[in-house]
C-alpha cells in the first residue's frame, strides 16, 4: 500500500469529527432517512386515498387556515386602534372609579355619590311624572307630561334592549342595586342614567321656561349624574359618553313623534 494512502487513513482515524456521535449532528443517519421516507410515502398514500372521499369544502377550509392564522398574527390597523382605545377606556375608568368600594380612595363619599345617581333612575322619574299627570289640570301641562312619560318609557326599554345585546360589564365587580334591576339597567353599555339625564335635561330646556342659572344647573346635573356612575365603578367612560349621545337621540325621536293635545286627552280618558 502506498505511503500516501496510509497517511490519509491515519488522519481520518485521528479526526474527531468523523466519529459517529459527531456525524449524527451534521448529517442524518441512514435509518432515520429511511424511516422519514417511509412516513412520507405513507402520508402521501393516505392523502391520495382520502382525496376522492374528502369534502371539497373541507379542503378549502384547510387551505384557508394558514391565511386565517396570518390574519390573527398580523391584525389590521383598525383592530389595533380599537384595542388601544379599549385599553385606554378601561384604564381611565379604573382610575376614575374612586368610589367603587368602601376601601377606595374616596370610599367615604360612596353613599353621597350613590344618592346623586338615584336622581337619574327611571323609577322615581316615572312615578313623579304619573303623580304630576294626575294632579295636572291644564291641557298644556298634560300634553308635556304625557310626552315626558313616553320619553321615559322609551328610554327604559331601549337602553335595556341595547344592554342585553352588548352585555358589557363594568370596570369593577359592582353588583347592581334594586332600582337597577327594576329598570333593567344591569349591564354597562350604554349607561342608562347618562342617557336619561341627557334626555331629561334637553327636554326641560326645550319645553320649560327657566332662568339662565337654572339652565346651567340642569346641564351640570346631567353631567354629574353620568360621571357619578363612573366614580362608583358601574360604567366605563365610553358607556357614559355613549349614554349622553343616545339620550339626545331619544329626545330627537320624541320630538318627531310628539303627541298632540287631543291624543293625550284620548289616552288620559282611556286610562
Q: Could you check whether the bond before residue 190 is cis, i.e. omega within 30 degrees of 0?
A: yes
* Distance in angstroms (rounded) separating the CA atoms of residues 241 and 194: 8
* Number of domains the chain contains: 1
pTM score, whole prediction: 0.69
Q: How many residues are given for the chain?
A: 271
Domain presence at residue 95: no
Candidates 121, 207, 235, 236; catalytic one: 235
Domain holding 156, by residue range, is 111-270
Locate 159 and state its grid cell: 337602553
- Could you list the pLDDT tens digit for every one of the 271 residues in the chain? 566 666 666 666 665 455 554 454 445 444 455 555 555 555 555 545 544 444 555 555 555 544 444 445 556 777 788 788 888 888 888 888 888 887 778 878 888 888 888 898 888 999 999 999 988 888 888 999 999 999 999 999 999 899 889 888 888 877 777 777 777 778 888 999 999 999 999 999 999 888 999 999 999 999 999 999 999 888 999 999 999 999 999 999 999 999 998 888 888 888 7
Domain presence at residue 213: yes
Is 193 noted as a catalytic residue in this protein? yes
Domain presence at residue 74: no
Domain presence at residue 248: yes
Domain presence at residue 209: yes
Locate 125 and state its grid cell: 322619574
Domain presence at residue 100: no
Candidates 121, 193, 207, 236; catalytic one: 193
DSSP H or E run through 88: helix 77-96
Handedness of CA 16, 19, 21, 25 (dihedral sign): positive
Domain presence at residue 123: yes
Domain presence at residue 177: yes
Amino acid at each position: 500500500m502506498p505511503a500516501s494512502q496510509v497517511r490519509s487513513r491515519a488522519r481520518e482515524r485521528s479526526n474527531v469529527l468523523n466519529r459517529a456521535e459527531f456525524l449524527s449532528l451534521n448529517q442524518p443517519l441512514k435509518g432515520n432517512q429511511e424511516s422519514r421516507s417511509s412516513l412520507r410515502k405513507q402520508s402521501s398514500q393516505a392523502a391520495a386515498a382520502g382525496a376522492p372521499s374528502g369534502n371539497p369544502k373541507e379542503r378549502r377550509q384547510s387551505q384557508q387556515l394558514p391565511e386565517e392564522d396570518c390574519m390573527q398574527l398580523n391584525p389590521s390597523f383598525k383592530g389595533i386602534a380599537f384595542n388601544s382605545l379599549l385599553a385606554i377606556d378601561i384604564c381611565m375608568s379604573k382610575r376614575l372609579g374612586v368610589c367603587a368600594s368602601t376601601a377606595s380612595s374616596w370610599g367615604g363619599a360612596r353613599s353621597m355619590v350613590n344618592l346623586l345617581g338615584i336622581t337619574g333612575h327611571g323609577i322615581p322619574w316615572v312615578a313623579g311624572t304619573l303623580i304630576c299627570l294626575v294632579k295636572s289640570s291644564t291641557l298644556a301641562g298634560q300634553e308635556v307630561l304625557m310626552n315626558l312619560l313616553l320619553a321615559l318609557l322609551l328610554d327604559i326599554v331601549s337602553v335595556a334592549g341595547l344592554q342585553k345585546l352588548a352585555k358589557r360589564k363594568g370596570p369593577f365587580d359592582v353588583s347592581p342595586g334594586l332600582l337597577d334591576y327594576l329598570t333593567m339597567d344591569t349591564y354597562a353599555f350604554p349607561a342608562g342614567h347618562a342617557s336619561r339625564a341627557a334626555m331629561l335635561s334637553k327636554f326641560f330646556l326645550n319645553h320649560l321656561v327657566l332662568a339662565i342659572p337654572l339652565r346651567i344647573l340642569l346641564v351640570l346635573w346631567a353631567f354629574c349624574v353620568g360621571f357619578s356612575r363612573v366614580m362608583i365603578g358601574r360604567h366605563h367612560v365610553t358607556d357614559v359618553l355613549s349614554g349622553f349621545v343616545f339620550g339626545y337621540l331619544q329626545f330627537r325621536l320624541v320630538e318627531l313623534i310628539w303627541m298632540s293635545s287631543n291624543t293625550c286627552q284620548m289616552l288620559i280618558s282611556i286610562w
